[in-house]
């Protein structure tokens, strides 16, 4: 395939509920150095400016914490991803938290405005909350809602102030294309920890989820074939991989919101390699490694590194 891979390092953790994810990308790089892997030496690496200084102050927006900073992050990622794709590069994003993934989607869509974008979201969580439905205000639970340009007012539980609404609408419109994806072009894998408001909108939009049990019953290869058929009308595909999609007892608890009964590392590798082989795949993102929470030293970063190495080997 011989892709020109560029690692995009994003240390922003302003959308997470716990601290330490900003160290995740460096923990993966450290794991590579300890292993004497040349993966980051042989491929170009670029960094994105973060707004983590906002964590030193109280959040001003109760139901969209640090959304003002996230707009800046979205704009930065949008610009970088769009530029790389326009240069025919293959971005692999190593991001701290998952909240910035909406900026990645915005960048892909800006690079290919006339192409239909499919999204494969591998995660324990659905990340389709809005300020109107969120139980925490943490924006790593909202990136897909920004890409879909939805508010889910039917399930509204929060009274959102006008300033937050204005910023939320601005966030959804980064890149001046909205919506950026269609519900039928999203596929979940391993999602298993959702709230009622998310379940409602997922049912309403008809978004397909492959729970771990179904994946094991059918086998990874069969599921990948089904996903390829479902996204057949999509021109390009973005893969977003949260390490909490994996079972913490089989990896470690080195992530912000671990959930039991997830994928094994072997299943995750098989999925990611198969998706990397798909010529429609234009961007892959790996998120939510948190070495501060790792109960087994740097194990989560080491597992993530192994997955990334397999993806890079496939692309090369």
Give the span between the Cα atoms of 169 and 48, in whole angstroms: 23
Q: Return left, alpha or beta for 211; rule: phi > 0 is left, psi -120 to 50 is alpha, else beta.
A: beta
Select which of 68, 76, 89, 244 is catalytic. 244
Select which of 76, 125, 247, 270 is catalytic. 125
Q: Are 247 and 288 in contact (CB under 8 A)?
A: no
What are the start-end ranges of the H helices in the chain? 24-35, 39-42, 67-86, 101-111, 143-148, 162-172, 196-205, 212-218, 220-230, 265-277, 299-315
98 is catalytic: yes
288 is catalytic: yes
Name the β-bridge partners of 237. Answer: 118, 281
Q: Please tell me whether the peptide bond between 274 and the residue prior to it is cis, using omega within 30 degrees of 0.
A: no
53 is catalytic: no
Distances (CA, A) of 63 to 29, 69, 103, 162: 34, 14, 19, 12
> Which of 21, 25, 8 is closest to 52 using CA atoms?
21
127 is catalytic: yes
244 is catalytic: yes
Select which of 68, 76, 127, 247 is catalytic. 127
140 is catalytic: yes
- 90-95 β-sheet, strand order: 44-48, 5-10, 90-95, 281-287, 236-242, 117-122, 186-189, 208-210
Cα 73 to chain centroid distance, Å, stands at: 14
Select which of 123, 151, 185, 302 is catalytic. 123
Give the span between the Cα atoms of 43 and 25, in whole angstroms: 15
Select which of 98, 247, 270, 294 is catalytic. 98
Select which of 195, 242, 285, 294 is catalytic. 242
Select which of 89, 129, 140, 151 is catalytic. 140
Burial of 176 (0-12, 13-18, 19+ CB in 10 A): exposed
**CB within 8 A of 241, min separation 6: which ones?**
122, 123, 268, 272, 284, 285, 286, 287, 307
Select which of 13, 288, 294, 302 is catalytic. 288
Residues with a known catalytic role: 98, 123, 125, 127, 140, 242, 244, 288
């Amino acid at each position: 395939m011989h892709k020109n891979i560029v690692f995009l390092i994003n240390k922003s953790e302003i959308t997470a509920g716990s601290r330490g994810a900003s160290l995740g990308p460096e923990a993966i790089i450290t794991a590579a150095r300890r292993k004497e892997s040349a993966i980051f030496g042989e491929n170009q690496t670029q960094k994105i400016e973060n707004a983590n200084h906002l964590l030193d102050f109280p959040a001003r927006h109760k139901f969209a914490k640090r959304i003002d900073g996230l707009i800046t992050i979205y704009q930065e990622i949008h610009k970088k991803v769009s530029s790389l794709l326009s240069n025919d590069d293959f971005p692999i994003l190593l991001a701290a938290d998952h909240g910035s993934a909406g900026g990645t989607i915005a960048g892909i869509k800006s690079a290919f405005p006339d192409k239909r974008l499919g999204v494969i979201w591998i995660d324990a969580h659905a990340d389709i909350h809005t300020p109107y439905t969120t139980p925490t205000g943490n924006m790593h639970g909202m990136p897909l809602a920004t890409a879909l340009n939805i508010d889910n007012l039917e399930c509204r539980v929060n009274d959102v102030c006008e300033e937050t609404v204005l910023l939320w609408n601005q966030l959804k419109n980064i890149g001046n294309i909205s919506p950026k994806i269609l519900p039928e072009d999203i596929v979940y894998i391993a999602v298993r920890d959702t709230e009622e408001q998310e379940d409602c909108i997922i049912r309403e939009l008809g978004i397909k989820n492959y729970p771990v049990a179904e994946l094991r019953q059918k086998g990874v290869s069969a599921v990948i074939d089904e996903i390829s058929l479902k996204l057949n009308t999509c021109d390009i595909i973005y893969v977003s991989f949260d390490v909490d999609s994996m079972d913490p007892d089989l990896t470690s608890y080195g992530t912000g919101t671990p959930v039991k009964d997830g994928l094994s590392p072997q299943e995750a590798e098989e999925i990611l390699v198969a998706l990397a082989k798909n010529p429609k795949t234009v961007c892959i993102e790996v998120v939510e490694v948190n070495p501060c929470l790792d109960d087994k030293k740097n194990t989560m970063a080491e597992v993530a590194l192994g997955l990334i190495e397999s993806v890079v080997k496939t692309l090369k």
